Chains A and B, each alone.
Chain A
Amino acid sequence: MSDADVWLGGRQVLDGLDLRLDAGEAVAVCGPNGAGKSSAIRAVAGLLALRRGIVQLGDDDISRLSERQRAERIAYLPQERRIAWNMPAIEIAALGAPFLSAADGLSRARAALEEVGAGDLASRGVAEMSGGERARVLLARVLVSGATTLLVDEPIAGLDPDAQLLVLDRLKARTRTGQTVLASLHDLTLAARWADRVVVISQGRVVSEGPPLEALTSDILRSVFGVSGVWIATPSGPLLDVTRVLESSQGA
């Protein structure tokens, strides 16, 4: 996506945003609330009309692709986890591959549910599930698709630590098979451990980009997130120790 401007409800949410994804990459989009992370992901998914700029998949302008061509290349997991009807998990997961035969779709759905540790939920209605269980089922729906690029908007929001790690692990595993994953993440420690590259967005623009610790510098943490942060090396990976800038300055 290059030089993308998006306006929503009279407000500019993306302002000349550039975003490049390479095959097999795990890219985390980070930024404070309202920075434009979800809008960036939705724009890449082709859900938002660009006032300026272009989204390209390889050499193809996404707006010129048919719905099916687009879905073969991009699978999108929205932040919204509400499912309208109490359908069984396996049917929800199978919706990720609507062009397969029913039997193939269900068999792929079963495998994807196993992959996200929700194999035992296959026949349970989604209304009878916890938020975390539903999140896994919806992730399985995206994994079923076989699209080359997975766009996942806050996939670990509201999940317990184990589920967060499981979801990120499964997404990372997909990059090893050549799929590209773009995920918006609020937890900067997990973003730094998971992503090959971090893109920091503020006010609809990319303000920093690169390997996690190079993108999330102390200056960026202070100017974009309003926190004072120090990266600490731990056996599990980098850990961000943060304090609010306001509080620390008041304390001083």
Chain B
Amino acid sequence: MRVALKALSLNAVLLLVLLAALVLAIALGEVGLSAIQYRDALIDPASAAAEVLWQVRAPRAVCAVVVGAALGLAGAVLQGLLRNPLADPGVLGVSATSALGAALAIVLGAAVVPGAVEMSALGGAALGGLALIAVSARLGSPEALILFGVALSSFAGALTALIFNLSPSPIATAEVMSWLLGSVQNRSWIDVAWVTPPVIVAGGLALLASPGLRMLALGEEAAATSGLPMARLRILALLAAAVATGAAVAVAGVIGFVGLAAPHLVRGAVQGNPRAVLLPSALAGGLMLVLADLAARMTPTDQELKLGVFTALVGAPMFAVIAWRAAREWRL
């Protein structure tokens, strides 16, 4: 009961901070607005300030929240599934297959068709997810899944590099590169409408899989004899992670480290419970990404910093700290 209350209050606090960050991300930007302009934006939808706030900054910020939530959720699901605190969508190759899908669509000239790149990215994630499900059904062990995921990630990365290599158009190559760096710049409400439903579906799948994630804390064999339909729950968990990652990559490109770090920020507060960590991880992921996007926007550089670059710059040292702490725990 105490744990449930703790989780509830954690979610409430995260939600409040997330809303505050969202307001901040909409209010602040490169273009400074006066108090009158803010007032105009609130009362006159046709004003220029309203256009900046509600058609440029708001969809971008909301997009960052949804993409961050998707990545945080995917990371929490995969860490629970693999019983490994260093797992994230990048490790299992779903980000890479999704990026490959997007890269293919771009070089084949499909970017002119609305939604084609997004669908292709989602398709790539789905194929990666299906490959992982097939391996999981055959081998079951988390170690095998991680090894296969690493191989899948490398292979998809190599194919993406091959696309660069063979692409006749430097413009398409630059476009793919830009996509791979990850960004929510210029995202519209259409993008938000596009990314939100699959993330909600992924949340539902993760919720269905969550009893299995909790049971897996005991290990594969104890879980297999627990009475829960572990094969089905494992598939649901992989699907949840693939759909969430695919949706995130489809709309924002490849953004690393959020999936890894978000669950770690909140795990202590829910006493490690891999079921209770799902929602706070999504909220923390959304919070991290909206703040990272704000920081990337506000950093005074000639070219706006790409979100994926920014999260990697902050996330890589964080990853090192996590690995350091984990290694110390293992030593104990």
Contact = CB atoms under 8 A, between A and B. Distances in A.
Given A80-B219, A82-B219, 19 more contacts: A45-B221, A67-B224, A71-B225, A71-B226, A76-B222, A78-B221, A83-B218, A84-B84, A84-B216, A84-B274, A86-B271, A87-B273, A91-B273, A92-B217, A98-B211, A98-B228, A106-B1, A141-B218, A141-B222
Interface string A63-88: 00001101110111110101111111
Contact of B225 (A76, A83, A123): A76
A165 B273 CA distance: 32
SS of A interface (majority): mixed
14 contacts: A45-B225, A47-B221, A67-B230, A68-B229, A71-B227, A74-B225, A78-B222, A84-B83, A84-B274, A85-B267, A85-B274, A95-B215, A95-B217, A125-B271
- Residue with the highest number of chain A CB atoms closer than 10 Å, among B216, B219, B222: B222
A85 B226 contact: no
B229 A67 contact: yes
A184 B230 CA distance: 26
A186 interface: no
A42 B221 contact: yes
Interface string A170-183: 00000000000000
A238 interface: no
B3 interface: yes
Interface of B: 1-3, 83-84, 211, 214-219, 221-222, 224-230, 267, 271-274, 329
Interface in A31-50: 42, 45-47
A80 B219 CA distance: 8
Nearest to B211: A98
B216 A70 contact: no
Contacts of A82: 219
A85 B1 CA distance: 19
- Which are the 6 A-B pairs with shortest beta-carbon distances? A71-B227, A85-B272, A84-B83, A86-B272, A76-B225, A68-B227
Contacts of A98: 211, 215, 226-228
Contacts of A86: 271-272
Contacts of B1: 106
B272 to A, nearest CB: 3
Nearest to B329: A127
A95 B226 contact: yes
Contacts of B3: 88, 91
Contacts of B222: 76-78, 141
Contacts of A80: 219, 221
B214 A78 contact: no
Contacts of A127: 272, 329
B267 A92 contact: no
Interface string A115-128: 00000000101010
